[in-house]
Amino acid sequence: MTVANSSVPALGLSHRPSRPVSCPGMVNVSTRREIYAVAALLADFPRPWAFCGGWAIDLFLDRQTRAHKDIDVAVARRDQLEAQAYLTERGWRLQIAHQGTLTDWPPGEYLELPRHGIWGRHRSFEPDFLEVLLNEIEDGIFHFRRDQAIVCPLDQAFTRAPSGLSILAPEIALLYKSSSLEPDNWADLRAMLPALNAARRAWLGATLARHDPRHPWLAELDAPAQQVESA
């Protein structure tokens, strides 16, 4: 992974709209069984994708550390129309989630930044809610959406959990989570810290310090921890 030296603003604290109370994904806590259902759903999708969010942490650890309200998957922005067609053909209703509002996603409409969140609902599928997050990936390189000077080879950004499922690398998942210091994100950091090897820990520390030298997670990363060097 690479971080350029250009100056950038601090990470914003709000990167996704608040889910409405009526959203199905807020009612049913997602389970590992539902993770495998989503993996089966996407098994024939021909483009790279990965579980992200809190489930990326737990899949990397190969154990569930907390309850998860929903399941998030990452795809490349350039592959969005293929993802749209793939999911709508399978009965999913897709909406654009942006700045606290939801709007239907018209077939064939290509979404540019800053729009990146897609909510999917399917009344007869379990889980009945899925969030698809569009990521900036070009020529085999993953670009961190909030600072595209932070890059990583796609084969490192999308890695494999012990189960064999594709996941967003945990240090990248944590970097996204660092913009919101809610309890679940703290829990994900503390669950993941003992399993972060030196390279992952150093990368996360450098990218956090780049945006906010006083970020409270830096003290956690600097604290002595038993690390798994092969992770």
| Structure confidence by residue, pLDDT tens digits, 121-170 | 999 999 999 999 999 999 999 999 999 999 999 999 999 999 999 999 99
In the chain, beta strands by DSSP E: 2-3, 49-52, 72-76, 93-98, 101-104, 117-121, 129-138, 141-143, 150-153, 158-160, 166-168
Cα distances from 141 to residues 96, 172, 203, 204, in angstroms, run: 25, 14, 16, 18
Quote the tokens at residue 108.
Answer: 């064939």
Judge contact between 38 and 73, C-beta under 8 A.
yes
Q: Residue written as tokens 């654009």?
A: 96
Q: Residue written as tokens 């007869």?
A: 124
Q: How far apart are CA 48 and CA 139, in angstroms?
A: 13
- Using the predicted structure, report yes or no on whether residue 10 has a pLDDT greater than 80: no
Quote the pLDDT of residue 225: 54
Q: Roughly what angle, to the nearest 10 degrees, separates helices 54-61 and 183-192? A: 20
For residue 108, the Cα-to-chain-centroid distance in whole angstroms is 24
| Tally of CB atoms within 10 A around 95 | 15
Q: How far apart are CA 168 and CA 161, in angstroms?
A: 9
The 10s digit of each residue's pLDDT in 71-85 is: 999 999 999 999 999
Quote the tokens at residue 35.
Answer: 């993770």
pTM: 0.85
Q: Roughly what angle, to the nearest 10 degrees, separates helices 170-177 and 183-192? A: 150
Quote the pLDDT of residue 2: 57
The 10s digit of each residue's pLDDT in 187-228 is: 999 999 999 999 999 999 999 999 899 999 999 998 765 444
The residue extents of the domains of the chain are: 15-180
Q: How far apart are CA 93 and CA 120, in angstroms?
A: 5
Q: How far apart are CA 39 and CA 36, in angstroms?
A: 5
Least confident of 8-12, 121-125, 161-165, 179-183: 8-12
Nearest to 34 by CA among 2, 58, 14: 58
- Has domain 15-180 been given CATH number 2.60.40.1890? no
